[in-house]
Chain A
C-alpha cells in the first residue's frame, strides 16, 4: 500500500490517565500514529496494554488527558457536540469489546439505532438492518434480545450495528474473540471486502492470526506506548513468534 495516501486518523502525543481513588493508571503515554485512508491495521498487545483506550480516543468516544486526535485532519477537540455526534454516528463504526448492546432492544432495533439517530426513515432502517443481520448470519434472530443470544451472536449483532451507517472508519475491538473458526472467518471476509471494495479504513485489535495475515500494517502496543509498527510483508516471517508473546 502506498503511504502517500491521505491520513485519516492522526494522533499527536496522545496520553490518557485513569484516575480512580487517587490511583493514577497511565493507559496511554504519548502515542503518535498516522493511519491512512483505506488501510487495514491490526493492533496487538497484551491484555491491559491500552488497546481499548486507544480505540476510544481515536473514535472520539473519550477525552484524552493530553495530546490531540485528528480525524481527517480535523482536531476532535474542536468539534461541537452536534458534530461529534455526527462523526460517531455516520463516520465511525465501533465494535466494542464488551458489545455494549442495548438490553431492551431486539437485535434489529440495536442495529437500526445508529440509523435512527442519523435520521434514516423507519422502513429504510428496517430493510438495511435486516440486510446487515443477514450479512452476519443472524437474519432469523432479528427479534431476539441480547440476553436471549449467545456471546458470539451478540458480538455479531454488534458488528452489524457498527456497519449501520456505512462508516468510513471501522474500529473493531477483538471482533472475532467469541466466534468459532467458521463464523470468525465469515466476519473477517466481511471486513476484508469492506476494506477492499468500499475502501473502509479498518482498525482491528486482535489476537487472531488470520487477521494479521490479511492486514496492511501491524501495530504493537505495550504499556500504553507503541512498541512497533510494521508492514505485514516486513513481519510476515516473524508473525508466529509475536502472536505468542
Chain B
C-alpha cells in the first residue's frame, strides 16, 4: 500500500479555502451529538431562562386580554350609572367638548343643544378645544402651574383669553423646549380670539341640558332616578326622550333592567344592617357578626335553599324583601357573583396594557429582569461549553481550521442549542403561564389570547434565546480563534 500521489516539494503559499456552510453545520451537529449530555444541560439552562421570559410574556398577554374583556363587560354593566348622572346633572362644558370631540352626538345622551346653528363648525372647534384641554390635562404639576396656574377645564381658555396672561404663557412655554404644544401658537391665539363665542354656545348647551333635566325631574317626582328608570311602563323613558335625550329601545330596556338590579342590590344589602341577618350569616360562615360583609351575604344567597331560609328569617323584619322569592334571590346572587369575579379581574389586572409593550409597569420591569437572567444564564452556559472545548479548537486550528470556521462552528452550535432550548422554554413558559392564570382566574383564560399573538410571543422568546446564545458564543470562540493553536491548547 503506497501513498497515492507525490506532494509538491515547494511550499507555495496560498490561502486556505473556506468551508461550506453545509459541512460546518454537519461538524457542528456531530459535536452536539457526541456531547448530548452537556448539550442537554446547556439546553435546559437556556430553556429555563426562556421559560421565565415566556412565562412573563404569556401572563401579560392573558392578563391584558382579561382586563380588556372585563372592563368592557363591566362598563356595559355600569352603563346605568353614567345615564343616571346625565339624567340628573348637566355635563360641564369641558366634558361636553370631550364628548363632541370623541364623535359623540351632542344631541344624544347630552340632550339636544338646540341653540347651535352651525353644527359642523361647532364640532370642529370643539375638537380643537378638546385637544388643547387634553394637552393641559397631560401636563405635570409644575409646568401646568407655570403655564396656567390653577385653572381647570374651560376656565383655562377664559384665563388665557387675557392678552397679558397669554404673553406670559407664551414666554413660559418658550422656556420649556422639551414640551411640544399641540399645533401652532398662532392657531391657539386665533382659537382663543373666538373662544367667547364657543363659550356662549357651550353655555347654551348646558342650559338646554338644565332645561331638559328640570322637565325630567318633574316627571320623576320624588322617586330616585333608578326607581324611575326601573319602572317597566316606559313613562319616564318617554319623558326623557321628550326632553331631548336620545334613548333608543335597546338602551332603554337595558337601563330598566340595570336600574332594577341596582335597586335589588340596595334592598338586599341593606338588610345586612339588621343584626338578625348578620347573626344568621355569622353562624353559617363561623365569623363574628361585625365581620360579615355583602360578599358573604351574596355567597350565602347563591343556593336557593339558603336564600329561602334567609327570606324566612328576614322577610318579617324587612318590608322591602316582601316581593322577593328564594329563586329570584339566588339568581341575583349568581349575577352578582359574576360581577364580583369581573371586578376581581379588573383589580388584579390593574395596570395591564400600560407601559412598555403594553405589559404593564410591573411586568415590564419583570421582563427586563428576566432578560437579564436569560442573558447571564445563557452566556454562562455558552462560555462553559466553549471554554471546555479549547483543546478541540486548538487541535482544529493545528489542522488548518480558519478562525472564521471556528467562530461559525460555535455560533451555529449555540444557535442550535438556543433554538431547542428556546422552543422547550417557550412551551414551558406558556404552560406555566396558562396554569397560573387558570388557577387565578378560572379555566376561562384558555382561548382568551389569539393563537397568532401567542405564536408571536413564543417566536420572540425563541429569538431571544437564539440571539443571546449566539452572542454569548461569539466572545469565547473569537478569543479561542484568535489565539495561536498551542496558546489555545494551554488555556485551562
Among B9-17, B115-123, B179-187, the stretch in contact with A: B9-17
Known: A100-B391, A104-B30, A104-B34. A81 touches B486 (CB 8 A): no
In the assembled complex, which residues on chain B have CB atoms less than 8 Å from the CB atom of A71? 11
In the A-B complex, list the 10 residue pairs whose CB atoms are closest, starting with the nearest: A89-B400, A104-B34, A85-B16, A166-B7, A62-B486, A72-B11, A119-B17, A82-B15, A86-B16, A117-B400
Interface centre among A88, A128, A161 (most CB of B within 10 A): A88
In the assembled complex, which residues on chain B have CB atoms less than 8 Å from the CB atom of A81? 402-403
Nearest residue (CB) in A for B7 is A166
* 26 A-B pairs whose Cβ atoms sit less than 8 Å apart in the complex: A38-B9, A59-B398, A61-B398, A61-B485, A61-B486, A62-B487, A63-B484, A72-B10, A83-B15, A85-B400, A85-B401, A88-B398, A94-B398, A101-B395, A102-B396, A103-B34, A104-B30, A109-B30, A117-B399, A117-B400, A117-B405, A119-B19, A131-B1, A166-B6, A199-B6, A199-B9
> Does B9 contact A87, Cβ atoms closer than 8 Å?
no
> Does A117 contact B16, Cβ atoms closer than 8 Å?
yes
Known: A86-B13, A89-B399, A113-B396. A56 touches B486 (CB 8 A): yes
For the A-B complex, the count of residue pairs with Cβ-Cβ distances under 8 Å equals: 126
In the assembled complex, which residues on chain A have CB atoms less than 8 Å from the CB atom of B486? 56, 61-62
A188 to B11, CA, bound (A): 25
A8 at the interface (CB under 8 A from B): yes
Nearest residue (CB) in A for B8 is A168
A91 to B14, CA, bound (A): 11
Nearest residue (CB) in B for A193 is B2
In the assembled complex, which residues on chain B have CB atoms less than 8 Å from the CB atom of A200? 7
In the assembled complex, which residues on chain A have CB atoms less than 8 Å from the CB atom of B312? none
- Total B residues in contact with A, Cβ cutoff 8 Å: 42
Nearest residue (CB) in B for A81 is B403
In the assembled complex, which residues on chain A have CB atoms less than 8 Å from the CB atom of B11? 8, 71-72, 74, 87, 91, 168
> Does A104 contact B35, Cβ atoms closer than 8 Å?
yes
Nearest residue (CB) in B for A91 is B11
B residues lining the A interface (CB < 8 Å):
1-11, 13-17, 19, 23, 27, 30-31, 33-35, 391-392, 394-403, 405, 484-487, 489
A102 to B31, CA, bound (A): 10
Closest Cβ of chain B to A213, distance in Å, is 23
A114 to B7, CA, bound (A): 15
A59 to B398, CA, bound (A): 9
Interface centre among B7, B35, B403 (most CB of A within 10 A): B7
In the assembled complex, which residues on chain B have CB atoms less than 8 Å from the CB atom of A86? 13-16, 400
Closest Cβ of chain B to A134, distance in Å, is 6
Closest Cβ of chain A to B419, distance in Å, is 20
- Name 12 extra pairs, CB < 8 A, besides A38-B9, A63-B484, A104-B34: A8-B11, A37-B9, A56-B486, A80-B15, A85-B401, A88-B400, A89-B16, A90-B16, A102-B392, A116-B19, A117-B19, A168-B7
Nearest residue (CB) in A for B405 is A117
A45 at the interface (CB under 8 A from B): no
A82 to B14, CA, bound (A): 8
Nearest residue (CB) in B for A200 is B7
A194 at the interface (CB under 8 A from B): yes
A30 at the interface (CB under 8 A from B): no
Nearest residue (CB) in B for A161 is B399
A198 to B3, CA, bound (A): 9
A199 to B9, CA, bound (A): 8
> Does B487 contact A117, Cβ atoms closer than 8 Å?
no
Nearest residue (CB) in B for A117 is B400
A68 to B196, CA, bound (A): 93
In the assembled complex, which residues on chain B have CB atoms less than 8 Å from the CB atom of A161? 399
> Does B3 contact A74, Cβ atoms closer than 8 Å?
no
Nearest residue (CB) in A for B27 is A116
